[in-house]
C-alpha cells in the first residue's frame, strides 16, 4: 500500500500556485509591470512590455534579486 502525499491530493494548478519558483516569477513580473508604468509615464506613451522587460533586466534585476535574498 502506498501513501499519498499532500501534492497527490491537490489539483495541479494549486501545486503550481504554491511553488516558490512560481511565486518568484509573479513577484518579478509585478516589478516589471511597475517599471513599465513608470517608464511609460516618463515617455508619454506605452513603451510596451518587451521594452520594459529588457530595460528592467538591464537596470534593476540584479539588485532586486539580491534584495530578496536578504
Is residue 63 scored above 80 in pLDDT? yes
Would you state the cell numbers that stand for residue 22, as one nine-digit string?
512560481
Q: Could you tell me the pTM of the whole model? A: 0.75
In this prediction, residues 19-47 reach a mean pLDDT of: 95
pLDDT band of 54, cuts 50, 70, 90: very high
Would you state the cell numbers that stand for residue 58, as one nine-digit string?
538591464
- 8-31: pLDDT as tens digits: 677 777 777 678 888 899 999 999
Is residue 33 scored above 60 in pLDDT? yes
Instruction: Enumerate the domain spans of the chain.
Output: 30-70
Q: State the Cα–Cα distance between residues 25 and 4, nearest whole angstrom.
A: 28
Mean pLDDT of the chain: 87
Asked if residues 35 and 60 have their Cβ atoms less than 8 Å apart, the reply is yes
Amino acid at each position: 500500500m502506498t501513501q499519498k502525499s499532500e501534492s497527490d491530493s491537490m489539483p495541479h494548478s494549486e501545486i503550481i500556485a504554491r511553488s516558490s519558483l512560481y511565486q518568484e516569477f509573479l513577484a518579478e513580473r509585478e516589478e516589471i509591470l511597475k517599471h513599465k508604468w513608470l517608464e511609460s509615464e516618463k515617455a508619454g506613451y506605452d513603451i510596451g512590455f518587451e521594452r520594459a522587460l529588457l530595460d528592467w533586466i538591464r537596470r534593476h534585476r540584479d539588485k532586486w534579486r539580491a534584495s530578496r535574498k536578504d
